[in-house]
Structure 1
Amino acid sequence: MTSRHTSTRADLVRDACTAFAAVLDGLGDDDSWAPTGCRGWSVRDLAHHCAADAVRGLVALHTPTTARPDRDAATYWAYRGADAAAAAEVRRRTRAAASLYPDWEELRGHYRESARALVHAAEHCRPGGTVRTQGHVLRVDDLLSTLAVEATVHHLDLIEHLEGCPGPAVDGLAEVRRVLIDLWEREPPEHWSDEHFARVGTGRAALPAQDRAQLGPEADLLPLFS
């Protein structure tokens, strides 16, 4: 049965970050060098990237504006991953920055602290306000959705090559589903779980031939973001 979105956006951020941190806390130094679902990134690289994203969210929540929003929780993603050169540069910079943390405990501690600060800010912000981030203006609730979606999708990347690790928060996957439906403008096939939709909808899993035939031209719209 598919889960349904019931949490507030601040709850989503808290649960997504807590679930991600729990996986990191269960990994030893050897595990931290394992590959992830993000091309060219180890667990260490991904942990640093997600810490940086938490800091970005923290900065955004403290950058209020009276400007009108030009993105929402769905359209924010419609423009993500379109610039291949920029994406490659982000991957390179992330690997370089993560390499400055020789101690795994220090690196995952950096994620814990950053995520904890983000969650505190999310729980005490004004949901109806607007903020700036990455050159755009979003309502606070929409920003929180993007942060929860990012943490949830990267949780899938984190455990891609790790056995026995818990998956993302259920409500986080439900939020990813909601955003993907808004972008795709249709429901996924009934037999797709929220996790499967998250993987296929973001290009982290190939679309099975049978599903491609069933979806027809709409299959060509996948992935919806990466």
Structure 2
Amino acid sequence: MEEFSRSWTALLAAVADLPDEAFNRPSGCAGWLVRDLVCHLVIDAQDVLITLATPTDAEPTRNAVTYWEVSGVPPTGDDPLDALTTRLAAAYGEPWLLKFHLDDVGSAAGRAARLADPDSRVGTRDQVLTVRDFLSAYVVEWTLHHLDLPDVDPPPAEGLARSREVLEEIAGSAFPASLPDADVLRIGTGRREPTAAERAELGDLAAGLPFVLG
């Protein structure tokens, strides 16, 4: 729960400090500008609010790791929902409007998370998770998207470490200890190609890359 709050607070602060010109730069998400990514974060914040307001007594069907649908194909931005995000982002016009909406909805999502019972259960994407697992999954989301922003301070170390643990569980193998958490996350999720030296360090693990989380 605390990791969620720290990761989300850091991400909101990073977006708030972005200069206007950064919104038209490419983000770490293929096919998206920074403005598109920020618009996606607004939608993510809405998802947190909706899910926390969707309680259920059903038994959990997923946890913080199995929550993720894993693909080997990085996004291109051409998916209909991705394309909708870019159109919606463009409709905002000015970066300050996006910043305002994210701060407004994002602050509400952060408050809702702090008030939620971590042991209660919620429904999302036709699955059931405890609130603790749902918010833990979003630590990975916040951390990856924080890494997608250009020229900002890094995400909290705890979020980086936790996200690496999740990725390693998904991969079924540990990444080389010599690789920093941020590099593991970018390479492991297809945000960049490993260098020749990194590929050599990865060994057999390189053949299974990337693990695209959706």
TM-score of the superposed pair, with normalisation by structure 1 = 0.85
What one-letter code is carried by the residue in structure 2 that aligns with 1:97? Answer: L
Structure 2 counterparts to residues 200-215 of structure 1, below 5 A: 200-215=187-202
Q: Do the aligned partners of 2:72 and 2:211 also contact (CA within 8 Å) in 1? A: no
Query: Given the alignment of the two structures, is residue 146 of structure 1 paired with residue 133 of structure 2, yes or no?
Result: no
Structure 1 unmatched runs, 5+: 1-9
**Aligned-residue offset at 1:191:** 0.3
* Residue deviations 1:120-169 (CA, integer Å, cap 9, x gap): 1111111111111122211111110121111110111112xxx3x21112
Q: Do the aligned partners of 1:55 and 1:114 also contact (CA within 8 Å) in 2? A: yes
**CA distance 1:18–1:85, change in 2 (3 Å):** closer
Aligned-partner SS, 1:217: helix
What one-letter code is carried by the residue in structure 2 that aligns with 1:75? Answer: T
Query: Given the alignment of the two structures, is residue 217 of structure 1 paired with residue 198 of structure 2, yes or no?
Result: no
What one-letter code is carried by the residue in structure 2 that aligns with 1:67? Answer: A
Q: Do the aligned partners of 1:78 and 1:224 also contact (CA within 8 Å) in 2? A: no
2:115 and 2:155 map into 1 onto residues whose CA distance is 24
Which residue is equivalent to 1:170?
157
Query: Given the alignment of the two structures, is residue 32 of structure 1 paired with residue 23 of structure 2, yes or no?
Result: yes
* Residue deviations 1:11-48 (CA, integer Å, cap 9, x gap): 22221222222222222322221111112211111111
Identity of aligned residues (%): 36
2:16 and 2:200 map into 1 onto residues whose CA distance is 42
Aligned-partner SS, 1:99: helix
Query: Given the alignment of the two structures, is residue 43 of structure 1 paired with residue 43 of structure 2, yes or no?
Result: no
Aligned-partner SS, 1:30: helix
What one-letter code is carried by the residue in structure 2 that aligns with 1:140? Answer: V
1:187 and 1:225 map into 2 onto residues whose CA distance is 17
Q: Do the aligned partners of 2:30 and 2:74 also contact (CA within 8 Å) in 1? A: no
**CA distance 1:216–1:83, change in 2 (3 Å):** closer
Aligned with residue 88 of structure 2, among 65, 83, 97:
97
Which residue is equivalent to 2:147?
156
Which residue is equivalent to 1:193?
180
Q: Please say which of residues 171-180 and 17-26 is displaced more in the overlay.
A: 17-26
Q: Please say which of residues 54-63 and 133-142 is displaced more in the overlay.
A: 133-142
**Aligned-residue offset at 1:91:** 1.4
Query: Given the alignment of the two structures, is residue 12 of structure 1 paired with residue 11 of structure 2, yes or no?
Result: no
Aligned-partner SS, 2:212: coil
Q: How many residues align?
A: 213
* Residue deviations 1:84-143 (CA, integer Å, cap 9, x gap): 699711210101111221221121111112221111111111111111112221111111
* Residue deviations 1:171-221 (CA, integer Å, cap 9, x gap): 111111110121122221110111111111111121333443454433222
Aligned with residue 182 of structure 1, among 145, 164, 169:
169
Aligned-partner SS, 2:79: helix
Structure 2 unmatched runs, 5+: none
TM-score of the superposed pair, with normalisation by structure 2 = 0.90
Aligned CA RMSD, in angstroms, stands at 2.2
1:213 and 1:25 map into 2 onto residues whose CA distance is 39
**CA distance 1:62–1:224, change in 2 (3 Å):** same
**Aligned-residue offset at 1:224:** 2.1
